[in-house]
Amino acid sequence: MNNFRGQGFHLTATKHEPITLALISLKTALQSYFKTQKNIAQAWTSLGSNEPTDKASLDVFYRRTRNGMTYIENYVETIIHFHHFVELMCIELLRMEHSSLATEQCKESESHKEVYKRIRKLPNDASTRTIDSTIGFDKAIKRLHALISDDNITTRTWLNNPNLAFVDKTAKESMLQLLALRNLLLHQGTFILEYDYLDLFVGTKVLPFIINIIQLPEFSIYNHLWRHPEIACMKTSGDRVDPISEIVLVCKNHYNREHIAFLKELGRSAYQNLIPNHEPPKSGFGASMGGNPVRIAARDRANRALKEEDVYGVRDCLVCGERTLVLYEHSEMDIPRSVVEARCTNCTFSIDKRFQPHKYDINVLDLWISI
């Protein structure tokens, strides 16, 4: 077997399929990014410190420990899949204006505007798209920005949409930074952003751009392909907590490592929730046992945990809403007893006393009860 190119299939059979792969990448990127807070827990106290010993131990952590290597693995997945999502979506936005806009290369010293003028005269037929000649990330974001920002192009149709005004100079430069970080991984394999800077890069550069894309009515109908099930806890305003938009808000106002890590843990465990959208116990047969076998097993694990010596009690989980959040108390004799850790037996949500959910504008009682 020498010709593997002929043994696959193209995701182009129906109208929405070109973006399916993009949304799979978005889901992978978010899941990987959310996991980074778990990877870093071992080195938490060294983060942000200027002490030489802390800097040295953080360096050892990133380079020499299993959790450090897992952080790097999740970092790579995050950058590569965010990059892939943005590239495919920029290409799709160009195609929505004209099928050849994402394939036609610039001739020598030809601007994107001139390419557009030339392409307008070509037949706009989606079936002419070919995979081989599609432009890359760099050209796609630059062409998109050039055509959207130039008000002198009066013949635009789709690209004239005011919902696309977010593709401004700042957004273009943010996405070129994403490309640079991805290239540093793929072509050199030597550069990894440290934990706080990954948060700031994702929260201030990447997620704002992505939110603008996925909110476009043409794409928001496919949220089920990438979004996690709804999170049970509510903000004090009455809105449901959405980690993606909250991370953007916290990074924009004042970066708070603990708050962002808490939001990432909400997102990470929401993807693990196998009882989507807080499905109520069904009536009729099985209702007394909670109906869903996943729910029955999770409640059973929580009830069994109650028999353990260091378990204080069980509460409704902030993420899945099930009564499966087991509260663990401190066991050392010389420290006043209090709840110090909470772990859900359903969605795997798990936090310790570093985090203060009741202080993050979330309508929840303090978990860290003094006993």
Q: Choose, by CB under 5 A, the member of 263, 320, 339, 342 that binds Zn ion.
A: 320
Residue 347 interacting with Zn ion (CB under 5 A) = yes
List alpha helices for 126-240, DSSP H.
Answer: 137-149, 169-183, 195-201, 207-214, 217-220
Candidates 89-97, 206-214, 250-258, 339-347 — which segment interacts with Zn ion by CB under 5 A? Answer: 339-347
Residue holding tokens 């036609």?
A: 104
String of contacts with Zn ion for each residue 226-265, x by CB under 5 A:
----------------------------------------
Q: Report how far residue 69's alpha carbon sits from residue 162's, in angstroms, rounded to the nearest whole number.
A: 43
Residue holding tokens 């593997």?
A: 4
- Give whichever of 25 and 273 is closer to Zn ion, judged by the CB atom: 273
Residue 355 interacting with Zn ion (CB under 5 A) = no
Q: Choose, by CB under 5 A, the member of 346, 351, 355, 367 that binds Zn ion.
A: 346
Q: Choose, by CB under 5 A, the member of 317, 342, 351, 362 that binds Zn ion.
A: 317
Residue 337 in contact with residue 330, Cβ under 8 Å?
yes
H or E stretch including 8? Answer: none
Q: Choose, by CB under 5 A, the member of 319, 326, 340, 362 that binds Zn ion.
A: 319
In whole angstroms, the minimum distance from the beta carbon of 42 to Zn ion comes to 23
Q: Report how far residue 361's alpha carbon sits from residue 241's, in angstroms, rounded to the nearest whole number.
A: 10
In whole angstroms, the minimum distance from the beta carbon of 178 to Zn ion comes to 32
Residue 349 interacting with Zn ion (CB under 5 A) = yes
Residue 344 interacting with Zn ion (CB under 5 A) = yes
Helices (H) and strands (E) in the chain, counts: 12, 4
CA–chain centroid gap for 305, Å, is 32
- The contact set with Zn ion (CB under 5 A) reads 317, 319-320, 344, 346-347, 349
